[in-house]
């Protein structure tokens, strides 16, 4: 999800030896350390969402698998060519854009065609911190962004099943990035090209605590109104279980039940065609 610390993870991965995009999105006042996102990739993701009648902050009608089903051969070639141009001749690269929570099914064939191994890092930040950050940056209401957080996180988890992956909590990264990235690499089968010790000072400076402006309590995540608050809390708790134990018994089934309940809520509250996006 946007404002979840994905830039911190991507920047750390780059400092551990993976290649950033050729044409990165420039830094901004709200993210002075950089986004580590490819401009062409973010543009294509915006177009994919727009073609489906939504955008990242208005996407509750979106079923991500529909994006892949709508692609024509020329579209698939564009995605493959974009990755080739952005990450040509690299041993390993970082593909990062929070919209990938929703658009990954469209990109995955091209990603698999460009790499011998694909690993996913799911970055989780407390939803209260996320919605507060979005309220400050974009003036987006919490009532709108809480279900948006839930939609992004549930779909990110679902579309990365079957990939080598690790769930990383943003606060764990800031508390102990060495242990966090070492463990994530082991779980997701990522061999960091650069050893940790020579990069320590650079990453310490990059992840300075002053870059974190919104801190939320970590005891639970029942934010918003029922039934959404119950779903958010269950999702947060289950993702924490997967972070601690990728094979946690019943975790995926628990998320599937939340996803089914959330899908029912979305259909009732946001029927297709109910909103237009400019």
pTM, two decimals, is: 0.94
Whether 232 is covered by a domain: the verdict is no
Number of domains in the chain: 1
Whether 230 is covered by a domain: the verdict is no
Residue-number span of the structural domain to which 71 is assigned = 6-192+204-213
Whether 152 is covered by a domain: the verdict is yes
Whether 79 is covered by a domain: the verdict is yes
What's the chain's average pLDDT?
93
Whether 65 is covered by a domain: the verdict is yes
Angle at 86 between CA 80 and CA 87, to 5 degrees: 90
pLDDT given at position 174: 94
Q: How far apart are CA 147 and CA 231, in angstroms?
A: 9
Q: How far apart are CA 271 and CA 278, in angstroms?
A: 18
Whether 219 is covered by a domain: the verdict is no
Which token pair is 6? 């994905």
Task: Provide the terminal-to-terminal Cα distance of the chain, rounded to the nearest Å.
Answer: 21
User: At 220, is the pLDDT very low, low, confident or very high (cuts 50, 70, 90)?
Assistant: confident
Helices and strands, counts by H and E, the chain? 12, 2
Percent of the chain at pLDDT > 70 equals 94
pLDDT given at position 173: 96
- The distance from CA 177 to its chain's CA centroid, rounded to whole angstroms, is 18
User: At 169, is the pLDDT very low, low, confident or very high (cuts 50, 70, 90)?
Assistant: very high
Q: Do residues 157 and 165 touch, judged by C-beta distance below 8 A? A: no
pLDDT given at position 88: 83
Whether 223 is covered by a domain: the verdict is no
């Amino acid at each position: 999800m946007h404002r979840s610390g994905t830039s911190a993870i991507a920047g750390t991965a780059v400092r551990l030896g993976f290649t950033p995009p050729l044409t990165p999105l420039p830094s901004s006042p709200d993210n002075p350390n950089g986004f580590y996102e490819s401009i062409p990739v973010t543009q294509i993701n915006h177009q994919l969402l727009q073609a489906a009648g939504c955008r990242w902050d208005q996407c509750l009608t979106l079923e991500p698998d529909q994006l892949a089903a709508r692609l024509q051969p020329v579209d698939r070639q564009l995605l493959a060519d974009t990755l080739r141009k952005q990450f040509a001749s690299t041993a390993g690269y970082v593909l990062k854009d929070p919209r990938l929570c929703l658009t990954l099914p469209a990109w995955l064939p091209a990603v698999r065609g460009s790499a011998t191994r694909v690993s996913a890092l799911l970055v989780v930040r407390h939803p209260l911190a996320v919605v507060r950050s979005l309220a400050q940056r974009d003036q987006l209401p919490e009532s709108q962004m809480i279900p948006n957080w839930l939609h992004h996180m549930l779909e990110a988890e679902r579309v990365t099943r079957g990939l080598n992956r690790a769930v990383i909590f943003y606060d764990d990264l800031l508390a102990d990035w060495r242990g966090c990235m070492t463990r994530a690499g082991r779980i997701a089968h990522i061999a960091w090209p650069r050893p940790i010790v020579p990069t320590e000072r650079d990453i310490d400076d990059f992840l300075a605590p002053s870059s974190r402006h919104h801190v939320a309590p970590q005891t639970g995540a029942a934010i918003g109104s029922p039934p959404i608050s119950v779903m958010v809390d269950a999702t947060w708790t289950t993702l924490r279980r997967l972070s601690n134990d990728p094979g946690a018994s019943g975790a995926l089934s628990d998320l599937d039940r939340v996803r089914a309940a959330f899908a029912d809520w979305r259909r009732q509250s946001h029927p297709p065609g109910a909103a237009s996006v400019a």
